[in-house]
Amino acid sequence: MVKCRRFPLSHRLMTILQALFVLVLLITVSAFVSSAELSLASARKIKLQVMAKDGGDTRALDVLNMQQQPGSFITIVQIGLNAVAILAGIVGEAAVRPYFAAWFARFGTWGETTAPLLTFVLVTGSFILVADLMPKRLAITYPEAVAVRIVRPMMFLIFLLKPFVWIFDGLANAVFKLLKIPTVRQEQLTSEDIYAVVDAGAQAGVLKQQEHYLIENIFDMQARTVTSTMSTREYIAYFDKNDDSATVLEAMSEKPHNKFLVCDGDLERVIGYIESHTLLTLFLKEKSVRLTDKRVLRKALFIPDTLSLYDVLETFKTSGEDFAVVVNEYALVVGVVTLKDVMSIVMGELVNTEEEPQIIRRTEDTWLVDGATPLADVMRALDIEAFPNSENYETIAGFMMYSLRKIPKRTDFLVYGRYKFEIIDTENLKIDQLLVTRQDVAAD
């Protein structure tokens, strides 16, 4: 029969209380280290910068600095977790197990087997729940809030255990250097990352639908060229420099634009432009005003057709103009663009205009689309991720011409993805309007 040594009650009580105190202390240290590990790693750079700049919290800057050189705090985390695990095993085996063994001895020989098992379950379960699971869930839910609270104690631990940090971190850096692996954290925010953040904000209700729409359009400005929003050559209203007052007034009444080009014979010889209100004001004072009069004729701004809308906006800003003539690589005038045209891409459907929209939804599965509609607008309206070889064209008419490989005519059509694109109207070899029909998914 196995005999178990019995300790006095006071001795056993003190032993178990001391063991529980040590275990609680170890659990607390482990919980701190676990939350530090996850919060420092997952705290978002942008939010920390906002906390430091707007909130004046210098601890956020400490977190950012620690993220740039993560080797030190990772070393402390690993030293802490491993040391705590070893000490917890020693305390459980030396103090808790004998207590359970003495208590189970009264039930027979199977107590010797039950005591170690129960000790393992209680100690390990306590560490999993209180020292690991709960602090990590808290840290991943509030990473920045937890990170700024634990960063200073973590910096103190790094200073206190500097020799160990220097040894282990140095060895790790040497191995990484040998393998040519960078050890400095790189934060490269791409446009795709921003798109994802904006989409997540819209889905979470943080961003309103209008705000989401505006942010998307602002990024589109960098991808879209000026030709996607300019008034094309055939719609340009211009005067010859020798036109008389009657001709000018008649043309202005038929085409009430704010600005008109002034040319020397034809559209390829632009000498400037006039503003309607300035010219009409002078007409009221003087019966005859020449278009070359320096009081009305303004110098035209010329821009290449390869500029993005963002570049056009910057050009308007630096030049102080809000109207430009677009020319191609052969110095031929292909269109004109105004500041209003550029901003309409940003505002889009949020602003009411007198012009008919380029995309009209007829039914649940059919759309009428203007041939000059930019691809980006079609992709957004129809939820199409991309068009094939889109670098070769910019409008839906360009897509049709590129895909058909011929001069288009009415009734020509093609099927791409879930949609059928059919030409229903042309004008002077140009696609004027298309009918887009969503096909049955089963037929794809």
Complete domains list, the chain, with CATH: 16-179 (no CATH), 221-347 (3.10.580.10), 359-438 (3.30.465.10)
Q: Which of 117-126, 167-176, 299-308, 349-358 has the least mean pLDDT?
A: 349-358
**For residue 114, is pLDDT > 90?**
no
Position 300 scores a pLDDT of: 92
Position 154 scores a pLDDT of: 85
- Per DSSP, the three-state class of 422 is strand
**For residue 327, is pLDDT > 70?**
yes
- Only one residue has tokens 């998307």, namely 216
**For residue 89, is pLDDT > 90?**
no
- Residue of higher predicted confidence among 245 and 200: 245
Contact criterion met (CB below 8 Å) for 66 and 41: no
Position 419 scores a pLDDT of: 93
pLDDT band at 368 (very low <50, low <70, confident <90, very high): very high
3-state helix, strand, coil in the chain (%, to 5): 60, 15, 25
Position 400 scores a pLDDT of: 92
Position 255 scores a pLDDT of: 84
Question: How much of the chain, in percent, has pLDDT values that exceed 90?
Answer: 16
- Only one residue has tokens 């038929």, namely 254
Average pLDDT, integer, range 371-395? 85
**For residue 312, is pLDDT > 80?**
yes
pLDDT band at 7 (very low <50, low <70, confident <90, very high): very low
CA distance 225 to 269: 24
DSSP assignment of 155-222 equals HHHHHHTHHHHHHHHHHHHHHHHHTT---S------HHHHHHHHHHHHHHTSS-HHHHHHHHHHHHHH
**For residue 443, is pLDDT > 50?**
no
CA distance 424 to 369: 10
CA angle 344, 346, 352 (to 5 degrees): 45
Position 273 scores a pLDDT of: 93
The angle, 0 to 180 degrees and rounded to 10, between the axes of the packed helices 162-178 and 71-91 is 120
Average pLDDT, integer, range 138-167? 85
Strand ranges, E, within 241-341: 259-263, 270-275, 302-304, 323-327, 333-338
- Residue of higher predicted confidence among 441 and 344: 344
Q: Torsions phi, psi of 413, nearest 5?
A: -150, 165
CA distance 399 to 394: 8
Question: How much of the chain, in percent, has pLDDT values that exceed 70?
Answer: 81
- Residue of higher predicted confidence among 99 and 292: 292
CA distance 197 to 100: 54
Task: Select, from the ranges 158-172, 182-196, 254-268, 351-365, the one with the highest average predicted confidence (pLDDT).
Answer: 254-268
pLDDT band at 351 (very low <50, low <70, confident <90, very high): low
**For residue 382, is pLDDT > 70?**
yes
Position 279 scores a pLDDT of: 86
Position 406 scores a pLDDT of: 87
pLDDT band at 271 (very low <50, low <70, confident <90, very high): very high
The closest of 309, 307, 311, 312 to 323, measured between CA atoms, is: 312
Contact criterion met (CB below 8 Å) for 297 and 263: no
pLDDT band at 138 (very low <50, low <70, confident <90, very high): confident
**For residue 354, is pLDDT > 70?**
no
**For residue 13, is pLDDT > 60?**
no
User: What's the mean pLDDT when you consider all of the chain?
Assistant: 80
Two tokens at 152? Answer: 């200073």
pLDDT band at 1 (very low <50, low <70, confident <90, very high): very low
CA angle 195, 343, 379 (to 5 degrees): 45
CA distance 374 to 12: 83
CA distance 6 to 23: 23
Note the pLDDT tens digit of each residue in 169-226.
788 878 878 887 776 666 666 666 666 666 666 666 666 666 666 677 777 777 788 8
Position 414 scores a pLDDT of: 92
Note the pLDDT tens digit of each residue in 393-429.
888 998 999 999 888 888 899 999 899 999 999 888 8
Handedness of CA 274, 280, 281, 287 (dihedral sign): positive
Q: Are strands 323-327 and 302-304 parallel, antiparallel or unpaired?
A: parallel
